[in-house]
Structure 1
């Protein structure tokens, strides 16, 4: 597994800010970019996550070992796919109608969102996580390893080594992990699923995922994606 020391976050909204704070607390060097000029977010970053470096997308990517996409899903194609070439990328995005608009204008209904993100950033390696727990829970419920109240996050992607690397990163950020190695399984944590918005311990999360295929939502997704 690769060693991660520098974390880059594209997106300075609530999720991006929270993840920046967790990464700083875990001892990582953190860079973060927003949708506007650096000056526009620099004061916000300095106030909310002192120690993080506000910068532009290109600088964030060039100086980070791992990239987190924490922008509205409808905006991922605003990023040049070549920018993330060769990078390990966490997809923390979800389709959210209030932000993204009509789903059919954002996503092809025949594939999951992370499959489409991976297809767009075809020269990067995409791993799905951090998307199913609310930002308040992410901020407030990070715990040291072994804490009985520690919560868990689902981690999945098609590249086993990348998934294992991201799972170790998630662990360092204060959460246990349930790991799969198929990016299509990311649908199990997206809006409309039983897991979306849930804050669960490892055994609870694993139990729901293990039974997911038997739910009506799971059957519907299976019919759409196979």
Structure 2
């Protein structure tokens, strides 16, 4: 599907999780003019002030999901069940954006996903809420460094999946605000095409290249490819370390495309 370009200005956004991805989203979305609140599991006083440099505010987790248009979950997949009650204290009209990916070595094995359930549909089932899947296909360093203005040649495109067209449009617009082409990747049942190991995962493709990569995904091969990449990163950098944009791109393109 062609990516859409629709602006949503001055949205109220809560970001839960201020690791490598959450920090960058907070900085970029606040810089784009949105009213951004950020939270972690330890309390606002523990949030590094550098995350607030562009105008985001540090709050408690319950405050991050209160009185906002969008909540972005930037937490490991295995922590989503614990956070579900907090999410459900917020408004049912709030759009939930999930950036997580399933890595069994980190998240412990999830039987349903191991049996083939699409990761984002497991998140929907766990939260009891619809979600938008976005920003899960880009490495943390590439997200921080490689955003460009709209219309830039070679601009990286990121797939955005959701079952609701309006929610997907919001996700696409917010991806655009972080410096990337938001690409309409259709419903969540097809979002396995953007899971770890897929051709579009970590390969920093353009909106021209992305459709073929999504179409070429082979579901049965994703777990093995994901685990090969994890092993390659661990051999080079150690367990639990995010690769830099260049190394991550080389490995992902070699294994996934």
Same-fold call, TM cutoff 0.5: yes
Pairing of 1:62-211 with structure 2 (within 5 A) = 62-79=66-83, 80=85, 81-84=87-90, 85-104=92-111, 107=113, 109-122=115-128, 124-211=129-216
Per the alignment, do residues 14 and 98 of structure 1 end up closer, same or farther by CA in structure 2, a change over 3 Å counting? farther
Whether 1:30 and 2:33 are equivalent positions in the alignment is no
The list of structure 1 runs, each at least 4 consecutive aligned residues, that deviate by more than 4 angstroms after superposition, is 1-4
Residues 14, 68 of structure 2: 8 Å contact kept:
yes
Contact 1:4 1:66 in 2 (8 A): no
CA shift, 1:65, in A, is: 1.3
CA contact (8 A) 1:73 1:95 kept: yes
SS at match of 1:20: helix
Does structure 2 conserve the Cα–Cα contact (< 8 Å) formed by 1:115 and 1:183? yes
Match of 1:47?
A: 50
Give distance in 2, aligned partners of 1:12 and 1:187. 25
Q: Distance in 1 between the 2:103 and 2:117 partners?
A: 16
Cα pair 2:10 2:35 within 8 Å, conserved: no
Deviation readout 1:81-120 (Å, 9 max, x if unpaired): 523433101110011234212343x846341111011122
User: Secondary structure at the residue paired with 1:32?
Assistant: strand
Q: Deviations over 1:40-97 (max 9, x none)?
A: 22xx1x1243222111121111132111110010000111152343310111001123
The two structures have a TM-score, normalised by structure 1, of 0.85
User: How many angstroms apart in 2 are the aligned matches of 1:116 and 1:83?
Assistant: 20
Structure 2: stretches of 5+ with no match in the other structure:
1-5, 225-257
CA contact (8 A) 2:43 2:61 kept: no
What RMSD in Å do the two structures reach over aligned CA positions? 2.3
Shift of 1:210: 2.7
Q: Counterpart of 2:235? A: none
User: Structure 1: where are the runs of 5+ without partners?
Assistant: 221-226
Structure-2-length-normalised TM-score: 0.75
